[in-house]
Amino acid sequence: MNAPTLLVDDPILIRSPFGAAHPFRAERGALTRSLLEACGALAQDEVASVSRLDERLLHSVHDGAYLEALVRAGRGERVGDLRRFGLGTGDCPVVEGMHRVALRAADATVTAAELVADGTARRAVHLTGGLHHAHRARASGFCLVNDLALAIEHLTQRHGLRVAYVDVDAHHGDGVQAAFYDRSDVLTVSVHQSGRTLFPGTGGEEEIGSGAGRGFAVNLPLDPFIDDDGYLAAFDELVPAAVAAFRPDVLVLQAGADAHWRDPLAQLALTGDGLDAVFARVIALAEHWCEGRMVVSGGGGYDAWRTVPRAWARLWARLAERELPEELPAAWRAEWQQRLGVRLPEYLSESARPDLDARATARAASHAMAVATRVATRLAPLWSAAA
C-alpha cells in the first residue's frame, strides 16, 4: 500500500511572526485546514506533529551571527544595526516572539521532508512554510528562516537524495536559489513575475547557476497580466524538460498562491482554476520521476481569505487524491465570516475574472514562450553534459 499524504501542523503556526497588521497572514493555513476538515477531506490521523530540527542543520544554512540577532531581537533585547540583518524593516519588522514562530515553521518543513525521506509519507505538506526569500545572513520579503533551504539540505545531506525544487510563487525564489546556486544535486526552478516589475528584483533568465551548479538554476520570468493559457504554455515548454534532465529522487514544491489575479502584491492574472492546473502539472512530474514523492509548502498569497484557502484546499485534494464539494460548507463559511469579518466565496472553483486587456495578455504570453524557449535551448547542452 502506498504511504499516505500527511499534513504537518502545530498550534504556534497560526500566529503571524509579524503581527496582525502585516500582509503575511499565517492564519491562511488554519483556514485551509478547517475547510478540508469541514469537507471531510482531512482526517485527524493525517495530521503529523512537528519535530525539532537539528541545530547543526540550522547553522549549515544560516549564519550564526544572523541567528543570534534574530533570537535576541525576538526576545526584545537590544541588537546593534539590525538592518544589516534585514530586520527592523517594513517587510520584516521586529515583533516579540517572531523567532519562535519562524523556527517552528522551519521545524515543520524539515519534519515534512523527513516524513517523505524515511517513507512514512509519500507526500508531506506544510502550508505555513515556503519562506523562500530568507538568505544565509539576512531576512527578506517577510521571511526570517528559510525553511525550504533547510528541508532541501536535510534531504541531500542526511539522505543523499537529488532534489528538484519547483517554485510557482509570484515572487522569485531567490533565497533558495542562492543556497544551492553552485550545487549539482539540487535543481531550482522558479516561475515568477519578472524582477523588472516585482520584488525581489532577481530571477532573470541569465541566472543559471555557477560552477558545479551551472545549468541547475532555471528561471522563467513573466510579464504582468499573463493569464492561465500563457502561463501554462510557457511552463510546459521549460519545466518538464528541466526536471526530466535532472531526474530527481524527490520534488519540493513551493505553492505560493499570489500569481492569482486578486493578489494585491503581484500583477499576474491566473484564476483559481489556473493555479490548480499548475499544481496538477507539478504533481504529475513527481509521479513520473519521483514515484510521487513530494515535500510541499505554502508560500505567498495575500488575498488571504478568498483565494489562498481554496487554492491550497484544491492542492491538498490533488495530493491526497480526495474529492471536494463544489459548494463550500455553509457552516464553515458562517463561522469564518464571523471570525474574520469578511465575506467568503460560496464555491470552490473559479474560472471567471475581470476582463483583461487582450493585447497585454497576448504580449505577456508571447514573451513568456520566447523566454521559456531561450532558456531551454541554452540549458539543454548543459543538462546533456551533466547526464
Report the helix count and the strand count for the chain, using DSSP H and E.
11, 8
Strand ranges in 223-337 using DSSP code E only, listed in sequence order: 250-254, 294-297
CA angle 346, 352, 353 (to 5 degrees): 110
Q: Residue 239 to residues 187, 229, 365: CA-CA distances in angstroms?
A: 11, 15, 16
Q: Catalogue the active-site residues.
A: 133
Whole-angstrom CA distances from 283 to 47, 152, 251, 296, 362 are 20, 18, 9, 10, 27
Residue with cell 463559511: 333
The type of residue at 45 is D
C-alpha cell at 17: 511572526
Residue 144: closest CA among 85, 76, 192, 78: 85
Q: What distance in Å separates the CA atoms of residue 36 and residue 58, rounded to the nearest whole number?
A: 32
